[in-house]
Amino acid sequence: MSVDLKKTASNGNENLSISQEQQAQINEVRRLIGPLSGKASTYCSDASIARYLRARNWNVKKAAKMLKQSLKWRAEYKPEEIRWEEVALEAETGKIYRSNYTDKHGRTVLVMRPSRQNSKSTKGQIKYLVYCMENAVLNLPTQQEKMVWLIDFQGFNLSHISVKVTRETAHVLQDHYPERLGLAILYNPPKFFEPFFTMVKPLLEPKTFNKVKFAYSDDQNTKKIMEDLFDMDLLESAFGGNDDTGFDISKYAERMKEDDKKSSSYWTGENSPSPVSNIVSSLDSITLDADSESDNEKVNSSPDPEMEKEIINPNKHIVVNHVASNASADTH
């Protein structure tokens, strides 16, 4: 299959301007949710509501129900209040970290190295993942709302596989961070990982599954695509780049502590936090029609027009997918 790589790469800045009809749907979701204040109000920007609508194919009732559940989760879990000191032990091996560069479309890059797992606690692992997601979103530039995951499988073996953690990860990311993932590149996964990935496919919504792509260092097409996506002088050598500096926990800790200050300013600078009980109470009063989807129902969503164009390598499965990322004024 012949594909124009330059044209495909340009899809990283797909325009997702809101039409009048879509704005009306956003307003209807606001009506269904009801009055909010404090952090809940800050979270529910038009762009945020639009992400929930896109995740539910612009079905207003389903999007409102999904958003309601996210607001309850945020009120109880308080993801924006997690601070570096609480997750520093989980972070010390560099199993997940935000890179100090973006891709060429301005998307935040999260690097993941599952072989460096240093915790048996599902609760601790998920808390650190949530912290990383909040941090990645906080650092998205204006006019960008998606991120890229680079997953390095060097040293990965069967002992690093956990269906429980995978299930909880999928739940948190899909239900509470909808339309945040632009692309996940699985770099040099071992052969035994493919059957596992097939097994967990039912846990993933179709849109999410289609954003996860396999890439191989010995494949010329992969190298070309990585060059189109990243500045190779900044990209880690583990992914074919020229940076072999390595992860430094001390330097990373300083970056995260500074970002914690930014997070606090974002959430408290203009809006005083509402008491959790008030948020939950107001949300519990919302009644949606009985035909709304059940909590565990998967949505067989078809991709948005022009959302993604795949680059196919007939010798290596699908190598990577330049998923169109979206422009949006808000960062949360």
Digit-coded pLDDT (tens) for 48-59: 999 999 999 999
Predicted confidence at residue 314, as pLDDT, reads 29
Residue range 239-252, pLDDT digits in tens: 999 999 999 999 99
Query: What pLDDT, on the 0 to 100 scale, is given for residue 295?
Result: 40
- CATH code linked to domain 20-77: 1.10.8
CB-CB contact of 172 with 267 (8 Å): no
- The whole model's pTM is what? 0.77
From the number of C-beta atoms within 10 Å of its C-beta (0-12, 13-18, 19+), residue 33 rates as: buried
pLDDT for 158: 74
**Extents of the domains making up the chain:** 20-77, 80-268
Q: What is the CATH number of domain 80-268?
A: 3.40.525.10
Write out pLDDT tens, residues 6-29.
333 334 544 567 899 999 999 999
Place of tokens 């530039």: 141
> How many alpha carbons lie under 13 Å from residue 107 in its C-beta half-sphere?
31
Q: Which residues of the chain have pLDDT under 50?
A: 1-11, 13-14, 270-332
Q: Could you give the count of Cα atoms lying within 13 Å of 31 in the half-sphere of its Cβ?
A: 8
Q: How far apart are CA 208 and CA 185, in angstroms?
A: 12
* Cβ within 8 Å of residue 72, ≥6 positions away: 279, 280, 283
Q: What is the pLDDT of residue 105?
A: 94
